[in-house]
Amino acid sequence: MHPLIGLLISYLAGSVPFAYLAGKARGIDLREHGSGNLGSSNAVRVLGKRVGAVVYLGDTLKGLLPVVLLPPIVNTTKPGLWAIAFGVAAVLGHVRPIYLLGKGGGKGVATAGGVFLGLAWLPTLVAVAVFSLTILITRISSVSSLLAAISLPIAIFFYAGPLDPLFALSVFMMVLVIWTHRSNIGRLRRGEEPRVGRRVEASVQ
């Protein structure tokens, strides 16, 4: 298989809007409720923890599977580099899903987590630990996601070194996550960011 086909498959897989589909199955457009974001955090806030967990799993797998399954079957002498490219394509698909005309995607945290779980599981566990500890202390998902994204390049720096392509990828993902959370950062500055556990009632359409 040509690597460019792998990129297309990765982007299309990343574009699957699990949060949108979960909401629509219940007559709810998540883009119009809660934070308006199509990610697992908003799914938990509007649809409940069980649905949010399913959305999180789906978003993680669409980052994990392309970097694990596609490199062995592409025609290339550098499967590791193409695995990174497939991961980037999957995350960009999540943030700008083609099925929703490139609008209303998620913020890339779970999908990026799936990518790094497949490429560097040990540093990923460090980031997961940072996320888990932060959310236990602050109960704010955005703060936890931002700190996890910042901790990942640090972990990879010590795990693989600054010259490894994974380090460059982790820095790119960190910048992307910070950019997708710019509205959350604004709410944090104003003290308006909601905490985890506050259920938002959504009217069924």
Residue 141 lies in a domain: yes
Residue 35 lies in a domain: yes
pLDDT tens-digit readout, 84-114: 999 999 999 999 999 998 777 899 999 999 9
CA dihedral sign, ordered 38, 40, 45, 50? positive
User: Which amino acid, residue 143?
Assistant: V
- Residues 166/106/177/193 CA torsion (nearest 10 deg): -150
* Banded model confidence at residue 160, pLDDT cuts 50, 70, 90: very high
Q: Which of 151, 202, 197 is nearest to 32 (CA)?
A: 202
Within a 10 A sphere around the Cβ of 190, how many other Cβ atoms? 8
pLDDT computed for residue 78 by the predictor: 87
Cα gap 157→174, rounded to integer Å: 13
Residue 76 lies in a domain: yes
pLDDT computed for residue 198 by the predictor: 58
Average pLDDT along the chain = 91
Q: Could you tell me if 112 and 91 are in contact, meaning their C-beta atoms sit under 8 angstroms apart?
A: yes
Give one DSSP letter per residue of 132-197, joined into a string.
Answer: HHHHHHH--HHHHHHHHHHHHHHHHHHHH-TTSHHHHHHHHHHHHHHHHTHHHHHHHHHT-PPPTT
Residue 196 lies in a domain: no
pLDDT computed for residue 130 by the predictor: 97
Range scoring the smallest mean pLDDT among 75-84, 106-115, 167-176: 75-84
**Whether this model's pTM surpasses 0.85:** yes
Within a 10 A sphere around the Cβ of 4, how many other Cβ atoms? 11
Residue 201 lies in a domain: no
Q: Which of 108, 199, 170 is nearest to 145 (CA)?
A: 108
Mean pLDDT value of segment 166-179: 96
Domain that residue 50 falls in: 3-190
Report how many domains make up the chain. 1
Residue 203 has pLDDT above 50, yes or no: no
CA dihedral sign, ordered 192, 35, 104, 58? positive
Residue 99 lies in a domain: yes
Question: According to the 3-state scheme, what is the secondary structure of 1-18?
Answer: CCHHHHHHHHHHHHCCCH
For residue 199, give the DSSP letter: P
pLDDT computed for residue 197 by the predictor: 62
Range scoring the smallest mean pLDDT among 25-39, 159-173, 175-189: 25-39
Residue 61 lies in a domain: yes
pLDDT tens-digit readout, 26-77: 999 988 888 788 888 889 889 998 999 999 999 999 999 999 999 999 988 8
Mean pLDDT value of segment 121-135: 95
pLDDT computed for residue 201 by the predictor: 52
Mean pLDDT value of segment 103-126: 93
Distances (CA, A) of 19 to 29, 76, 85, 117, 175: 9, 34, 24, 21, 23
* Banded model confidence at residue 200, pLDDT cuts 50, 70, 90: low
Residue 188: which residues within 8 A CB-CB, separation 6 or more?
140, 142, 143
Cα gap 4→119, rounded to integer Å: 20
